[in-house]
Amino acid sequence: GAGVSQTPSNKVTEKGKYVELRCDPISGHTALYWYRQSLGQGPEFLIYFQGTGAADDSGLPNDRFFAVRPEGSVSTLKIQRTERGDSAVYLCASSLSGSLTDTQYFGPGTRLTVL
Amino acid sequence: AQKVTQAQTEISVVEKEDVTLDCVYETRDTTYYLFWYKQPPSGELVFLIRRNSFDEQNEISGRYSWNFQKSTSSFNFTITASQVVDSAVYFCALPFTQGGSEKLVFGKGMKLTVNP
């Protein structure tokens, strides 16, 4: 079956611009996660959705970052007034229900470059 | 809080060599899971294994095997008879329960290069 998909695969933008990154989770998965991976590092948690609601947004670095999942499926990560330090690979993952016993399956990521 | 340490940052081997990737973790949880993921050059994180803290038996899947030792808080991964296609960055991860989520805490990863 289809895995987690993310679009675009690459995004180049200028400092100060607004960007949206999209994640389409595995069908039927209620839990959705966003992570950010900087060069040479492991992924770091940003936000977790259970259904339509953001159950844990403790990893968002500041209020320029926001994410939505209006219908409990596709999610969009939004970054306002981008800064060069936002350059990274943004990974999306989904799991069946978000429980400890579930496995998170990752998408291919969106590589964001802020010039 | 959870912590995962992958002390090796990069390893280079010749095809058919065996290689072991180390993972040491810290957790206060009595029940937990451990994961290994593979990230090939394409960038996608590929799930390899999930292990329950109650099960300390070694696991083997083809050329891959995992050694979980609770006494030393280690979950090491061995690739037997490595192949060029094994070249990737490998991550060990541990879930951290907070705020209703089971977010994964990753190590920094270990880059494996298998040369022909």
Residues B88 and A55: their CA atoms lie apart, in Å, by 33
Query: For chain B, how big is the Rg over CA atoms in Å?
Result: 14
Extract long-range pairs of A49-54: CB within 8 Å, 24+ residues apart. A49/A75, A50/A98, A50/B100, A50/B101
Interchain proximity B107–A98, CB inside 8 Å = no
**CA gap A16, A18 in Å, rounded:** 7
Closest alpha carbon within chain B to A59: B103
Q: Hey, which residues 56-85 in chain A have their CB within 8 Å of chain B? A: 56, 58-59
User: In this complex, do A43 and B91 lie within 8 Å of one another by their Cβ atoms?
Assistant: yes
- A96 touching chain B per CB within 8 A: no
Confidence of residue B101 (pLDDT cuts 50, 70, 90): confident
Structure confidence by residue, pLDDT tens digits, B7-39? 999 999 999 999 999 999 999 888 889 999 999
pLDDT digits (tens, 9 = 90+) for B37-72: 999 998 889 999 999 888 888 888 899 999 999 999
- Chain B partners within 8 Å of A55 (Cβ): 99-101
Instruction: Give the H/E segment covering residue A26.
Output: none
Nearest alpha-carbon partner for A29 in A115, A92, A114: A92
pLDDT tens for A10-66 read 999 999 999 999 999 999 999 999 999 999 999 999 999 999 999 899 999 999 999
Are B43 and A101 within 8 A, CB to CB? Answer: no
DSSP secondary structure code for residue B82 in this structure: -
- Is A103 within 8 Å of B31 when comparing Cβ atoms? no
